[in-house]
Structure 1
Amino acid sequence: MNILIMSNSVLPVSKYGGTERILWWLGQELNKSGHKITYLAPAGTQCNFGRVIIYKPDVSLEKQIPADIDILHLFEKPQEPLSKPYIVMIQGNRNDFDDFDINTIFVSENHAARYQSSAFVYNGLQLNDYGKPSFTNQRTHLHFMAKAAWRIKNVKGAIDIARKTNNKLAVLGGYRLNIKMGFRFTPYPSIRFYGMIGGEEKNHLLNTSKGLLFPVLWHEPFGIALIESLYLGCPVFGTPYGSLPELITNEVGFLSDKKSELIKQVADIGRFSNKKCSEYVADNFTIQHTTKKYLKYYEMVLNKQSINAFPPKLKEATPKFLPFYE
């Protein structure tokens, strides 16, 4: 097949970029499987395994699709009729009651169910990008990995858990002083902030971490940080919201909406096997798993079948912040 993948960000990403990583890895794996890849993406995008077309926001999408394309992989609902078959990959949450496109695919069972759909594909990692996990490294700290400025990610809760278990905490995705969303300053020397990092620096911090603290206050659609951390041997301690209960088993982590219970489990972190955490991801959450499932959905729309019986729509509104008890 000739597959066009659309991105609203320059590819490949240099640091984190969850959705962008999935689009890039997906293109790589599809190409390895014998498919031809075209990226429709902003200026600056480069690709050594496929064609790149620079997206022009002032030109209709239909006019930018080459005639040889068989199917489109989009990241948002098209605003115009398209002559080519397509699917829409949705990675985030939406709180309005507008219809999604009928060919929308979500990223977890919970994510889909909240919009009255059953169509989902789990995200998966390109394991080669992470090197070989080490199970003999000295593990010196816990880590938090998300946009710390977003209150729904709850870096404050992670800091409390780390301090009350006498652990150092590496915050990947935030800064000690944040004034963009209200004045916030974290004075504790045991909490170290690394900003947005990627590559070997991020892999090293995860490979020497005891575990991931992920006490989110919203329904997490998937959370690539979860499987990245697990693959590098880190059990996950988080809240039971969104996709977490279907991703985090008792063997690789612990979930609770009570801070006191998470503190108790982190204090007993030695009961988790770094090796089993890593094997769990290798067995279930690789880009090869992801690609095979998207190919099945591609076949559906190529055969003129809709992904959903009706356009998905939010089932019910949820609070801005889900509870996190002491």
Structure 2
Amino acid sequence: MRIAQVAPLFETVPPGAYGGTERIIATLCNYLVGLGHDVTLFAAAGSVTSARLVESRACGLRDDSAPRVSATAAHLAMLDDVCMQQAKFDVIHCHLSHFLHFPLFADFAAKTLTTPHGRLDYADLPTALGHWPDMPMNSISLSQRRPLLQANWVANIYHGIPVDLYAPAPLNKTDNGPQYLAFMGRFSRDKRADRAIAIAAAAGLPLKLAAKIDEEDRAWFRQEIEPHFDGNRVEYIGEISESEKPQFLGNAAALLFPIDWPEPFGLVVIEAMAHGTPSIVWRNGAMAEIIDEGLSGFVVDSMAQAIATVPLALALDRAKVRQCFERRFDAARMVDEYVATYQDLLRTDRPVSAVL
């Protein structure tokens, strides 16, 4: 198949550090090429891929030193380029979340697939969707669909990462096992690093935090998180690269994922699984779908339950945690499901969306 992958322009594909969406797109492109498909990636310059790269912007929006940038203008320019070349492709797979491409892709909707990677509980999305109800969409968890059950969902495909990308390594540990809890992600109100700090303190274990700070979260970070850093019981190690994850996640006793928002997937949780590290997660968004309760971690509803669950998580068999990852979140499974979905699109005579 001739497949176009259309990435958001905020980061390169894959990202230098933080960026789950771009990491999934990179994996998808490389695997599809490995299967013999003709793949074109529309993405920011600096992206590294085995697909044919169309550089849709000089750099990722978040890396641009210009005083002001327009994400809307950048994405519209890229999408217009895709439209002009659409006849070259059998399938156009777009990874933008807020339907900006729908009016541009409406005339060839039947050969498109949209995978939104973000939350979908925005007030304006149902009205927008009503103008293009037939656009084929794929969810990354069943919970992600709930605000937009009326969408034309054609598949639900959980993320996957290569099974050989991470591996449980011999742990740098004492006889009692790993001795710190881990938090990885962004310092935002949604991700709730403050909860992680309180859980670790109550459990009597050190906490190491590897996280990105977006500018809009900086004030909250300085007020609620930074005062707890002491380099000992609460240690901030910065935003980490791919090569640093094995040591950080592999040597952790457990990952804390105490989110306070409808997480569409939660890539860091399966990254922890790949290292054999269990997770303690809040019952929000996709978490109950991702965690095998009592095998790869625990899903909790309160601070008290999270604290009580720490020793249970530490007692889990790390080999079985890794087995949960291999059984459910292998990138090869993800790519096979996308290929099957593409083939279904090509076999199905779907109506073309029109503005109502």
* TM-score bracket, shorter-length normalisation: 0.7 to 0.9
Give yes or no for contact 1:134–1:233 (8 Å, CA) kept in 2: no
1:28 to 1:115, Cα distance in 2 relative to 1, 3 A:
same
The residue aligned with 1:317 is none
Task: Give the letter for the 2:157 counterpart.
Answer: V
1:123 to 1:165, Cα distance in 2 relative to 1, 3 A:
same
String of CA shifts for 1:88-141, please: whole Å, max 9, x gaps: 0111103224244631211011112342155311000123322x2126542231
Give yes or no for contact 2:279–2:313 (8 Å, CA) kept in 1: no
1:171 to 1:303, Cα distance in 2 relative to 1, 3 A:
same
Aligned pair partner of 1:172 in 206, 210, 218 = 210
Greater Cα shift, 25-34 or 91-100? 91-100
Unaligned runs of at least 5 residues, structure 1: 312-326
Q: Does 1:115 find its partner at 2:151? A: no
1:218 to 1:179, Cα distance in 2 relative to 1, 3 A:
closer
The residue aligned with 2:88 is 68
Q: Does 1:147 find its partner at 2:186? A: yes
1:174 to 1:140, Cα distance in 2 relative to 1, 3 A:
farther
Q: Could you tell me how far apart the structure 2 residues matched to 1:147 and 1:194 are?
A: 13
Aligned pair partner of 1:186 in 205, 212, 227 = 227
Following superposition, the deviation at residue 272 of structure 1 comes to: 0.5
Q: Does 1:106 find its partner at 2:147? A: no
Q: Does 1:274 find its partner at 2:318? A: yes
Unaligned runs of at least 5 residues, structure 2: 58-73
Q: Could you tell me how far apart the structure 1 residues matched to 2:304 and 2:349 are?
A: 49
Q: Does 1:260 find its partner at 2:286? A: no
Percent sequence identity is: 23
Task: Give the letter for the 1:140 counterpart.
Answer: Q
Q: Does 1:246 find its partner at 2:299? A: no
Give yes or no for contact 2:254–2:314 (8 Å, CA) kept in 1: no
| SS at structure 1 position matched to 2:237 | strand
Q: Does 1:237 find its partner at 2:280? A: yes
Following superposition, the deviation at residue 61 of structure 1 comes to: 3.7
| SS at structure 2 position matched to 1:272 | coil
Following superposition, the deviation at residue 30 of structure 1 comes to: 0.9
Following superposition, the deviation at residue 246 of structure 1 comes to: 1.4
Following superposition, the deviation at residue 247 of structure 1 comes to: 1.3
The residue aligned with 1:292 is 336
String of CA shifts for 1:36-84, please: whole Å, max 9, x gaps: 111111222343x221112264362444426432111101231313447
**Relative contact order (alpha carbons < 8 A, sep ≥ 6): 1 or 2 greater?**
1
Following superposition, the deviation at residue 195 of structure 1 comes to: 2.4
Q: Could you tell me how far apart the structure 2 residues matched to 1:253 and 1:182 are?
A: 27
Aligned pair partner of 1:11 in 10, 13, 18 = 13
Give yes or no for contact 1:62–1:83 (8 Å, CA) kept in 2: no
Greater Cα shift, 191-200 or 13-22? 191-200
Give yes or no for contact 1:157–1:215 (8 Å, CA) kept in 2: yes
Aligned pair partner of 1:133 in 168, 183, 186 = 168
Give yes or no for contact 1:135–1:274 (8 Å, CA) kept in 2: no
Task: Give the letter for the 1:123 counterpart.
Answer: H
Give yes or no for contact 2:210–2:238 (8 Å, CA) kept in 1: yes
Give yes or no for contact 1:212–1:229 (8 Å, CA) kept in 2: yes
Give yes or no for contact 2:280–2:313 (8 Å, CA) kept in 1: no
1:137 to 1:282, Cα distance in 2 relative to 1, 3 A:
farther
The residue aligned with 2:65 is none
Structure with more helix by fraction: 2
Following superposition, the deviation at residue 8 of structure 1 comes to: 2.1
The aligned runs of 1:28-67 (5 Å cut-off) are: 28-47=30-49, 49-55=50-56, 57=74, 58=77, 60-65=80-85, 67=87
| SS at structure 2 position matched to 1:268 | helix
Give yes or no for contact 1:174–1:193 (8 Å, CA) kept in 2: no
Q: Could you tell me how far apart the structure 2 residues matched to 1:165 and 1:64 are?
A: 57
1:4 to 1:174, Cα distance in 2 relative to 1, 3 A:
closer
Aligned pair partner of 2:26 in 24, 27, 32 = 24
Give yes or no for contact 1:55–1:64 (8 Å, CA) kept in 2: no
Following superposition, the deviation at residue 306 of structure 1 comes to: 4.8
